[in-house]
Amino acid sequence: MKGSIVAPHLTTPAATGDLRALPAEILEQTCKRVGIASFAFAGIWAWVLLMNTVVWRLVEPDGGALLGQMSGRANLVAVVGIGLSLAMVFVAGALHHRPSLLIDIGLGFEVTNALLIAVFNWLIIPPEWYPSAGVSFICVVILFYPTIAPAGPYRTLAAAFLAASLDPLVFQISVAQGNVYDLRTYDLLWTFGPNYVCALLAVVPATVIRGLGKRVSRERELGAYRIGERIGHGGMGDVYRATHRLLARPAAIKLIRPEVLGSEGPDRARVVIERFRREARAAANLRSPHTIELYDFGTADDGTFYYVMELLDGLNLDRLVTRFGPLGADRTVNLLKQICLSLGEAHERGLVHRDIKPSNLVACKMGLAVDFMKVLDFGLVKASSDTRRDGPELTSPDVTTGTPTFMAPEIAVGGRPVDSRADIYVLGCVAFWMLTGRNVFEGPTSIAILTQHVRDAPPAPSTLSETGIPPELDRIVLECLAKDPDDRPESAIELFRRLDACPVQPWTAERARQWWELHIPESEVAELEATDRSIIGSEPTIALLREE
């Protein structure tokens, strides 16, 4: 499984015609446009059906048997075109995560529409209706489709020439059936020639769009890192997969663009910028192996703030419990102890995380170790003892920072100093989630949840768990969830000692390895990556909740 979560490089030589040369966002939009184009084709064929079933009866009420017979065959072609287009809409939705395959199928869709038009031109319209040369609607299909789905130039050219050749091919079939056309060789050249001219021109939009994609890729470089696909989104910014251009080391890069900062006024922009810088400084100064590692930090030419962190191979606790159910007491204790080591260092430096939650805690593979915990997203970190070191309070008026489901009462209420024991409370909420698969408090609104954190007594995890939870672990979790900070364990290191003495069966490295091999074997890695994007890095989520 090592390295399996790292996607292939998104930049490959253009000569290969590989669509991976296009950024993921462009391919994603291309998939959507294929569906829209298919709807458009369905509408065009519906228009043909309308013309042949309604309009011709109004315009040519005495059209005769020939027109009626032709209309019946034309309706059949139109119905086939509508069905094919609607089927392509479904395919576009089903294959949105496989753009290369979808675009290849789309080329077949282009050729098939050209075939239907050719059948309409030469097997349905009577020969006597061709007194002179005319341009086929196939030209429209050949020129229009590459602007929607930019395949490689060679495939675009091949599909376009195949579509262009269908007019003369079906014409020969029509002649072989005995139809006689009053068209000279010169007329046929003017009839079929534009198809091939358009086939040559079809390469132009495909090449332009691919060139645009490569230019976007070149521009998506920050420092020594090349930005890939987006893998996370949250209040503090977006997270993208990145690769060091020289070392080829995979990483996750988090950035905030300047236009986003000014969307809510200068005060909000100042808060976000300072939080972003504080997160980078905090992560850079922490050395615990259980804290996300920071590689780089800086500002791009356009004012974009960014920092680069390690790309993790694992599952955050939110996804882990949601997918596999509550963890046993033994595994919960093992993971909590590792989290305590990360928080213990931060607390000794006078820093409070203030946004501990399952989505910020990742159980991952690190070399040969599995179930190795990493604590992410120090975006709300705050000095507990000396706020002067970082300037004024980094909050906006009437704003509560954190996540309601995982928030200490003193943060929710405000008005009193917040220290490391706020993280202890939230760690109790995380332990409750790991043991039961449920949140300590739930409610219809953020205010309702915060009110319960302040007022209501939490239930013991053992009352909601189907697995055995030792009474000692029950007591530890409930002490962490005490309303009064003085009643909680005084530090993360003290909590570590309490957990280490808890009478549970040891969760050994061998047991952890067996769990990973059973539940996430090598054969499931590709499927896991496609369905659970949280395995590949930090999910920057900072909730700013205005009072409701």
Domain that holds residue 375: 313-546
Number of independent structural domains in the chain: 2
Nearest 10 degrees: Cα torsion 123, 125, 127, 128: 170
Residue found by looking up tokens 């996430």 in the block: 520
Same domain, 25 and 172: yes
User: Does 293 reside within a domain?
Assistant: no
Same domain, 189 and 330: no
Same domain, 321 and 198: no
User: Does 266 reside within a domain?
Assistant: no
User: Does 250 reside within a domain?
Assistant: no
- Strands (E) located in 384-534: 399-401
Q: What is the structure's pLDDT at 3?
A: 33
Residue 430 in tokens: 């995380």
Neighbours of 417 (CB within 10 A): 10
Contact, 305 vs 276, CB < 8 A?
yes
Instruction: Provide the annotated active-site residues.
Output: 355
Q: Which residues pair with 363 in a beta bridge?
A: 315, 373
> What is the rounded distance in angstroms from the CA atom of residue 377 to the CA atom of residue 444?
26
Same domain, 67 and 182: yes
> What is the rounded distance in angstroms from the CA atom of residue 92 to the CA atom of residue 83?
14
Q: Which residues pair with 225 in a beta bridge?
A: 222, 244
> If we measure between CA atoms, which residue out of 436, 433, 356 comes closest to residue 401?
356
User: Does 256 reside within a domain?
Assistant: no
Chain CA centroid to CA 15, Å: 28
Same domain, 462 and 317: yes
Sign of CA dihedral 496, 497, 498, 501: positive
Q: What is the structure's pLDDT at 220?
A: 62
Residue 309 in tokens: 């962190």
Same domain, 205 and 318: no
Residue 348 phi, psi (nearest 5): -65, -25
User: Does 299 reside within a domain?
Assistant: no
Provide the phi-psi class of 223: left if phi over 0, else alpha when psi is between -120 and 50, else beta. Answer: left
Q: CATH number of the domain that 335 lies in?
A: 1.10.510.10
User: Does 307 reside within a domain?
Assistant: no
> What is the rounded distance in angstroms from the CA atom of residue 544 to the CA atom of residue 533?
24
Give the helix/strand (H/E) hosting 106. helix 99-119
Contact, 337 vs 373, CB < 8 A?
no
Interval 51-77: pLDDT, tens? 877 777 777 666 555 555 667 788 889
> If we measure between CA atoms, which residue out of 548, 433, 425 comes closest to residue 489?
425
Strands 294-299 and 237-244, by their bridges, are: unpaired
Same domain, 197 and 318: no
> If we measure between CA atoms, which residue out of 221, 312, 253 comes closest to residue 533?
312
Query: In sequence order, what DSSP letters do the residues of 13-55 get, joined into one string?
Result: -GGGT-GGGS-HHHHHHHHHHHHHHHHHHHHHHHHHHHIIIII
Helix (H, G, I), strand (E, B) or coil at 521: coil
Judged on CB neighbours under 10 Å (0-12, 13-18, 19+), 96 is middle
Residue ranges of the chain whose pLDDT lies below 50: 1-21, 218, 385-400, 523, 525-548
Same domain, 321 and 177: no
Contact, 33 vs 90, CB < 8 A?
no
> What is the rounded distance in angstroms from the CA atom of residue 437 to the CA atom of residue 82?
48
Helix (H, G, I), strand (E, B) or coil at 256: strand
Same domain, 191 and 321: no
Q: What is the structure's pLDDT at 522?
A: 58
38 contact partners, CB below 8 Å, separation of at least 6: 85, 86, 88, 89, 92, 109
Burial 203-233 (b: 16+ CB within 10 A, else e): bebbbebbeebeeebeebebbbbbbbbebbe
End position of a domain, from candidates 153, 188, 213: 213
> What's the pTM?
0.58
Chain CA centroid to CA 55, Å: 47
User: Does 440 reside within a domain?
Assistant: yes
Q: What is the structure's pLDDT at 402?
A: 63
Q: What is the structure's pLDDT at 87?
A: 94
> What is the rounded distance in angstroms from the CA atom of residue 290 to the CA atom of residue 533?
21
End position of a domain, from candidates 161, 189, 213: 213
Interval 433-443: pLDDT, tens? 999 999 999 99
End position of a domain, from candidates 213, 228, 253: 213
Work out the widest C-alpha separation in the chain, in whole angstroms.
Answer: 100
Interval 475-523: pLDDT, tens? 999 999 999 999 999 999 999 999 999 999 999 999 999 999 888 875 4
179 contact partners, CB below 8 Å, separation of at least 6: 122, 127
- Give the gyration radius of the chain's Cα atoms: 32
Cα distances from 464 to residues 359, 435, 440, in angstroms, run 22, 9, 10
User: Does 308 reside within a domain?
Assistant: no
